[in-house]
Structure 1
Amino acid sequence: MPEDEKTSSHNTPLYTLHGMWCTSCALAVEGALTRLPGVIDASVHYPTATVWVKGERNAVDLTELAPVVKRLGYRLTELEAVDDAHERLEQESRYLTLRLLVGAAFGMWTMLASLLIYVGALPSASIEQVVAWISGAFALPVVVYSGLPFYRAGWRTLLAKRPGMDVLVSLGAIGAVSVSIGLLWRGSVEVYFDTAVMLIVLLLIGRLVETLCRHRGLKALDALALPDAAISAWQKGDWVLLPVNDVVAGMRVKLAPGELVTLDGILDAPGWIDTASLTGESLPRYFNAGQRVYAGCRYLGATPLVMQVTAGAGKRRLDRLRHEMRRYQAQKGELQKLADRFAAWLSPLALALSLVTLIGALLVGLGWEDALVRSLSVLVVACPCAVGLAVPLASLAGNGQAMQQGIALRDPAALEILARIHSVALDKTGTLTTGSHGVLHWQVRDGIDKHTLQHKLTSAVAGSEHPLAQALARWSGGDNNQRSKPYKVDEFPGEGRRVWLTNRQYLMVGSVRWLARQQVDVPSQAADGTLASASQVMLADESGWLATFYLTDQPVDDAEQSVKRLLASGYLVAMISGDRQGAVSWLGKRIGLPSEACYAQRSPEAKARLLCGLPSPTLFVGDGVNDTLSMAAADVSIAPLSASEAAREGASAQLMSPGVGGVVKLLNIAKRTRRVMEQNLFFSALYNTLALGVVVVMAIPPLIAVLAMAISSLSVTLNAARLAWSEPEQ
């Protein structure tokens, strides 16, 4: 569990930051906020434009923070809706496209003019002079209009005392133009207008591609969005259509056949619900009256169904999940912090190296022209675009992959930890098992076939609400045989029941001890040791004992396959449960876990202590209130689909489909995401380090430096895009 959730004395609000241009802007605002009194920590997530702040209540209030951010040239507001975020990114895309079109339209003539001069295609020096001036004229709109965002962002980061990439870009572009004008004034045609144009145009292309990737990453939240359709609600004695936002908790709403459930609620009557949008289940589920239904499901009954609302719009389970995902997106993992630190010192270092290069070149006897060109190349090649984009774009891509696989990642920073997991601990009931019993084995009196047995069992358990009786009803085929319907039932709560049939015969079903007290000759138990932990239910009729059923909580469909894949991948896998030893041992054997990896009868405190003793980093998967302590003790935690509210709140990720197969998928996604993060970070850092060293000791044309810098940034963006667009591993 993140530290901020453990500390109730501090507020951790989430805001939206407008006006950012790149990661340097994010670092500038972040630095300004962390220096404020009362602010303990702040994190600005550039890809989603979100700001997470932790500190004293008054210190992190919007009214306190907004003026500070405004002085830097940005705007801080309440957290924007996802739809507004899409609109903002679309506006940014149009903004970038327009400036890119201007840059390309005028820049191509600058490049053509420069090319004619470089290859010596012009007939005379005077014509070359004219063409050089034309090259500068066409570069002017690119440098002034298309490059304006870079200058604005550079000035803002300087105000925040956190100079970043945009300072280098601005100095590089303005420097190239200034050097070129100076050379033209002296009569030289070796101008560098093309360098300024290429620097701005290529960076604009990178920003546009990056914005499209951010747009794609944000769409991961769209899977949790619901339409704002009108809903039929009971108001003032009549059913009226109300906007979904006007329906509050406690009101009763009516679901029409086939209607999408847009609010959380409790059913007044049973019905079939399609939960595919939330769980991925291919078959609908039958919900009983009193069961909770979450927004996002679809009602499939033939008649209207009434539901009492428990959570209105904005407070639904999906709403909370979306908000938590955005909250944790604003917090940074270790790799992102490392990238930020590298980018933070790289820009000042590049400025210092540029100045040293200029002075050094003059001291060794180079002319002002050559010295300025070398200094300019240092500025251009040092732009840390790739470093700033290395981690956040890969993280967004990994989040999108997880959502596609039915995994809601509440803490995207957990991807970095999940990629390094050594131990996986799993709860038993409700996590590795379905939470409902099934028939494991049965014995029957000689001369009774299975069909007859199922017929009698259907009559014996018809109408019972006991979980074991319902499990027996499912095994027998339900109570759809009207001839077996009893006319009288004597209930003995916690022990059994006697059912009188229409033909005056009776059946008894219940525990072994209860039937023994009813003078039924109870046979010896099954010799199979694996049944010792199972729950026993016996069936009897007028002739005495009829059958014994052994029931147990069945494993989820993918439990065995998932555990075997985890073991094959080299993880230390353990099952930690508060259930009886026999039940835990049986399940461990069933799913392929060795007995020494199955821990039974553990209290919540003991489970947490045991988890802390496993090789770290650790992952815990649990669903109950008793698992929340273990979730806090683990480095990262996952809640299955059927988890309790407390478990969901404490988990870093939540599975939106039945079973535990999502655990394996998420670990695979995390490994791929971290691999891309490390690749991006390594190559971008290596590029900047080596490139700076090269341009300091030898002359490299500024245009070549621009191309090298652009290729580095585009490679990082495309590598992250490769992760987002690739097919997830199964």
Structure 2
Amino acid sequence: MTDANAEKLYTLHGMWCTSCALAVEGSLKRLEGVREVSVHYPSATLCISGTPAITQLSNLAAKVKRLGYRLTELEPVADAHARLEEESRYLTLRLMVGSLFGMWTMLASLLIYAGALPNVQVEQVVAWVSGAFSLPVVLFAGVPFYRAGWRTLLAKRPGMDVLVSLGVIGAVMVSVWLLWRGSAEVYFDTAVMLIVLLLVGRLVETLCRHRGLKALDALTLPNVNITAWQEKAWISLPVDDVSTGMRVELAPGAMVALDGALEEPGWIDTASLTGESLPRHFQAEQTIYAGCRYLGATPIVMQVSAGVGQRRLDRLCDEMRRYQAKKGELQKLADRFAAWLSPLALGLALLTLPAALLFGLGWEDALVRALSVLVVACPCAVGLAVPLASLAGSGQAMQQGIALRDPAALETLARIRSVALDKTGTLTTGSHAVLHWLAREGFDEQMLQRKLSAAVAGSEHPLAQALARWASNPSDQPPEQCIEVNESPGEGRRVQLSSGEWLTVGSAHWLARQRIVLPAQAEDATLAFASQVVIADEAGWLATLYLTDQPVGDAEPSVKRLLASGYVVAMISGDRQGAVNWLGERVGLPREACYAQRSPEAKARLLQGLPSPTLYVGDGLNDTLSLVAAEVGIAPLSASEAAREGASAQLMTPGVGGVVKLLGIAQRTRRTMVQNLFFSALYNTLALGLVIVMAIPPLIAVLAMAASSLTVTLNAARLAWAEPE
């Protein structure tokens, strides 16, 4: 973010519905220096970008306060849960009042509608009783609608709550006017049902929002006290008080609360962060992240590299909330539709009254017709269509170990046609393993492993470490010991074993420079793509081992699943052609889909030639250009910092199976978005047309409007509560 353009996230308190979000959004957009504003109602988050001065909280809070809302720094996830619980209690109380008194209002109205009363005088009394029971509902349960409606009017963005408020007030005023004229055909039940059914929808929606926050719970850690070195002593400090550079002690079995580098080796359980079922052995100075668990038997010390608020988990959580706060194309379309629908409905209601009178209807019928227009036009379903589906989809992704960063990622992912994959570190583990070996006659595998285990012991070369893993358990016989080492870094080493024997280990070129002659059987031409390590003893050539970077466990099934789903799949790598072809064959890709020896610029150009939209998965610095060039970029678990920053999503579990899962989640999410948007827009458009040309009782209009909103909410909830595929 440059100095000329800052982006901030804040929490907006006091919103009642999407109309409130649009009102604040519209008001802030008019401020000079604001480039973009997005208010996400389900998460109560304001995302604003513009000049650093205008995006300061002090400037924005005053503007928002004049509209009746409150703006604060981005609240922690725990506070968001508490806020939603408070909103739930607030809604439940009003819903209880509305249901209790509304039930008697409805009962009185039903007696009148059914003609079950003996005479007109009794009907008149029951009509007044119906009005009396509606007062607590109208004057208490409906207050949030009136407040929100007034605030949106102040912001010059009248929305759904204005229509609801006018509908309730109109129903009560028409009913009182009819009672005054001596008619018992009142519409207090319409006002009551409008409030009660919308409160039910609000409560269900709040519960969905509560569930949506569960996606962030995986990225939050409890506030605990940890042991830190301060003033030449180990003391207990709250985790918030520990800063970068301090040394902290990790107790056996303790959860790691901060990012840092170990001062000594140790076993770490990374399952909570990566999903790996087996613990990993970390060397000294290796970085571990908050959320892991230390499994050693004795305490070890870690130097903190990131405190609370700067940890990897904190950054992922902020990116997730930034994603939730922004809007994709479908959400912007829904907002535009809801923005013009409310003023249109108000205008139609005002025109309906004189038009009905001109066509010969009486005042009573004309008022009822105008009232029905107000009720049926409430665009609450349109406003909820996309954000709830998006929130549910991002929650599903997080449950599957995928952190979304780009606001439009889910919508774009649903339309992906091509998937391009990097090789090293993405489709492969990034560490070599022995693929094949050749040895001098008379040497078996166990004998070779015993000698090799001693020859490579202590080496930091990646191939030597791979050989050490292969030779780690050669036999029941005690391993040889190394008593002297002469090493040429990056090329090879000569070692003397405890038996007095000398071994030479290294590349074929280096051994040739050591004047060691390699026979013809020392090389297998069919394995030219693999990394080669040669071993020789005092008698000459002893063995040749071929090592390759092995594919991740789920590479083959994931690639085959993508191909079966109709995606164009390609592997683009800077590695040699032989290694790329070998891996492509292992994972099920044809040779024409494997591109080798590509520079970062060539990778990006190649992406432009694939069917669009494109998805690229890469982990290294050389992949950053491709991650930006593709419509959507995904960084695997082991990705570099540069790759993570350039990606739209990050996998938090090993392998590439998360790519397949994310594409499936995106398709289901977009399908839900389109379903919600289509049906809510269709409902409002058709309902407005019908209520103008024919008489629809206000109560029926209320039920239809509430059913539309509830359907949209439950459809999004279905996505959130569905078992992941």
* TM-score normalised by length of structure 1: 0.97
Secondary structure class of the residue paired with 1:13? strand
For residues 138 and 473 of structure 2, the distance between their equivalents in structure 1, rounded to whole angstroms, comes to 77
The one of 1, 14, 39 equivalent to 2:9 is 14
Write out aligned runs for 1:294-443 (5 A). 294-443=289-438
Write out aligned runs for 1:77-476 (5 A). 77-476=72-471
* C-alpha contact (below 8 Å) 1:245/1:312 kept by paired residues: yes
The alpha-carbon deviation at position 479 of structure 1 amounts to 9.0
The alpha-carbon deviation at position 596 of structure 1 amounts to 2.0
Secondary structure class of the residue paired with 2:360? coil
The alpha-carbon deviation at position 149 of structure 1 amounts to 0.6
Secondary structure class of the residue paired with 2:6? coil
5+ long unaligned stretches in structure 2: none
5+ long unaligned stretches in structure 1: none
The one of 699, 704, 716 equivalent to 1:703 is 699
* C-alpha contact (below 8 Å) 1:462/1:479 kept by paired residues: no
Q: Deviations over 1:534-571 (max 9, x none)?
A: 11001122222111111111111111111111111111
Q: Deviations over 1:213-268 (max 9, x none)?
A: 00110121010111211111111222111111111111111111111111101111
Per mean C-alpha deviation after superposition, the further-off stretch among 69-78 and 520-529 is 520-529
For residues 441 and 405 of structure 1, the distance between their equivalents in structure 2, rounded to whole angstroms, comes to 36
Are 1:524 and 2:525 an aligned pair?
A: no
Are 1:646 and 2:637 an aligned pair?
A: no
Per mean C-alpha deviation after superposition, the further-off stretch among 59-68 and 312-321 is 59-68
The residue that corresponds to 1:629 in the other structure is: 625
The residue that corresponds to 2:674 in the other structure is: 678
For residues 81 and 407 of structure 2, the distance between their equivalents in structure 1, rounded to whole angstroms, comes to 20
For residues 523 and 201 of structure 1, the distance between their equivalents in structure 2, rounded to whole angstroms, comes to 89
Aligned pair in 2 of structure 1 residues 633, 419: CA closer, same or farther (>3 Å)? same
For residues 519 and 404 of structure 2, the distance between their equivalents in structure 1, rounded to whole angstroms, comes to 52
The one of 559, 571, 596 equivalent to 1:600 is 596
Write out aligned runs for 1:46-65 (5 A). 46-65=41-60
Are 1:72 and 2:67 an aligned pair?
A: yes
For residues 618 and 419 of structure 1, the distance between their equivalents in structure 2, rounded to whole angstroms, comes to 11
Q: Deviations over 1:574-594 (max 9, x none)?
A: 112222222222212221122
The alpha-carbon deviation at position 525 of structure 1 amounts to 6.4
For residues 588 and 8 of structure 1, the distance between their equivalents in structure 2, rounded to whole angstroms, comes to 45
Secondary structure class of the residue paired with 1:60? coil
Q: Deviations over 1:393-449 (max 9, x none)?
A: 001111111111111112343100110111111111111111111111111112211
For residues 114 and 391 of structure 2, the distance between their equivalents in structure 1, rounded to whole angstroms, comes to 45
For residues 438 and 587 of structure 1, the distance between their equivalents in structure 2, rounded to whole angstroms, comes to 13
Amino acid of the structure 2 residue aligned with 1:497: R
Per mean C-alpha deviation after superposition, the further-off stretch among 237-246 and 662-671 is 237-246
Q: Deviations over 1:190-228 (max 9, x none)?
A: 100000000000000000000010011012101011121
Aligned pair in 2 of structure 1 residues 488, 482: CA closer, same or farther (>3 Å)? farther
Secondary structure class of the residue paired with 2:158? coil
For residues 493 and 413 of structure 1, the distance between their equivalents in structure 2, rounded to whole angstroms, comes to 48
The alpha-carbon deviation at position 530 of structure 1 amounts to 4.9
Aligned pair in 2 of structure 1 residues 145, 525: CA closer, same or farther (>3 Å)? farther
The residue that corresponds to 2:684 in the other structure is: 688
Aligned pair in 2 of structure 1 residues 337, 707: CA closer, same or farther (>3 Å)? same
Aligned pair in 2 of structure 1 residues 685, 528: CA closer, same or farther (>3 Å)? farther
Equivalent residues, number: 724
Amino acid of the structure 1 residue aligned with 2:9: L
* C-alpha contact (below 8 Å) 1:530/1:586 kept by paired residues: no
Q: Deviations over 1:598-624 (max 9, x none)?
A: 222222222222222322211111111
The residue that corresponds to 1:713 in the other structure is: 709
The alpha-carbon deviation at position 520 of structure 1 amounts to 2.8
Write out aligned runs for 1:505-524 (5 A). 505-524=501-520
The residue that corresponds to 1:611 in the other structure is: 607
For residues 240 and 711 of structure 1, the distance between their equivalents in structure 2, rounded to whole angstroms, comes to 59
For residues 483 and 644 of structure 1, the distance between their equivalents in structure 2, rounded to whole angstroms, comes to 38
* TM-score normalised by length of structure 2: 0.98
Write out aligned runs for 1:518-597 (5 A). 518-524=514-520, 530-597=526-593
Per mean C-alpha deviation after superposition, the further-off stretch among 629-638 and 107-116 is 629-638
Amino acid of the structure 1 residue aligned with 2:68: G
The residue that corresponds to 2:652 in the other structure is: 656
Q: Deviations over 1:49-69 (max 9, x none)?
A: 111111111122222222211
Aligned pair in 2 of structure 1 residues 370, 533: CA closer, same or farther (>3 Å)? same
Amino acid of the structure 2 residue aligned with 1:368: W
Secondary structure class of the residue paired with 1:637? strand
The alpha-carbon deviation at position 347 of structure 1 amounts to 0.7
Aligned pair in 2 of structure 1 residues 530, 36: CA closer, same or farther (>3 Å)? farther
Q: Deviations over 1:463-491 (max 9, x none)?
A: 11110000011111269975412111121
For residues 29 and 168 of structure 1, the distance between their equivalents in structure 2, rounded to whole angstroms, comes to 18
For residues 615 and 290 of structure 2, the distance between their equivalents in structure 1, rounded to whole angstroms, comes to 29
Amino acid of the structure 1 residue aligned with 2:204: V
Secondary structure class of the residue paired with 2:519? coil
* C-alpha contact (below 8 Å) 1:329/1:413 kept by paired residues: no
The alpha-carbon deviation at position 521 of structure 1 amounts to 2.9
Amino acid of the structure 2 residue aligned with 1:496: G
Aligned pair in 2 of structure 1 residues 495, 478: CA closer, same or farther (>3 Å)? farther
The residue that corresponds to 2:720 in the other structure is: 724
* C-alpha contact (below 8 Å) 1:275/1:297 kept by paired residues: yes
RMSD over equivalenced CA pairs, Å: 1.4
Per mean C-alpha deviation after superposition, the further-off stretch among 593-602 and 343-352 is 593-602
Amino acid of the structure 1 residue aligned with 2:376: V
Secondary structure class of the residue paired with 1:554? strand
The residue that corresponds to 2:480 in the other structure is: 484
Secondary structure class of the residue paired with 1:150? helix
For residues 262 and 419 of structure 2, the distance between their equivalents in structure 1, rounded to whole angstroms, comes to 37
* C-alpha contact (below 8 Å) 1:473/1:479 kept by paired residues: no
For residues 628 and 49 of structure 1, the distance between their equivalents in structure 2, rounded to whole angstroms, comes to 32
The residue that corresponds to 2:33 in the other structure is: 38
Per mean C-alpha deviation after superposition, the further-off stretch among 694-703 and 116-125 is 116-125
The alpha-carbon deviation at position 514 of structure 1 amounts to 2.1
For residues 665 and 354 of structure 1, the distance between their equivalents in structure 2, rounded to whole angstroms, comes to 48
Secondary structure class of the residue paired with 1:48? coil
Amino acid of the structure 2 residue aligned with 1:130: V
For residues 374 and 97 of structure 1, the distance between their equivalents in structure 2, rounded to whole angstroms, comes to 32
Are 1:495 and 2:491 an aligned pair?
A: yes
For residues 707 and 62 of structure 2, the distance between their equivalents in structure 1, rounded to whole angstroms, comes to 38
Amino acid of the structure 2 residue aligned with 1:470: Q
Secondary structure class of the residue paired with 1:47? coil
* C-alpha contact (below 8 Å) 2:3/2:52 kept by paired residues: no
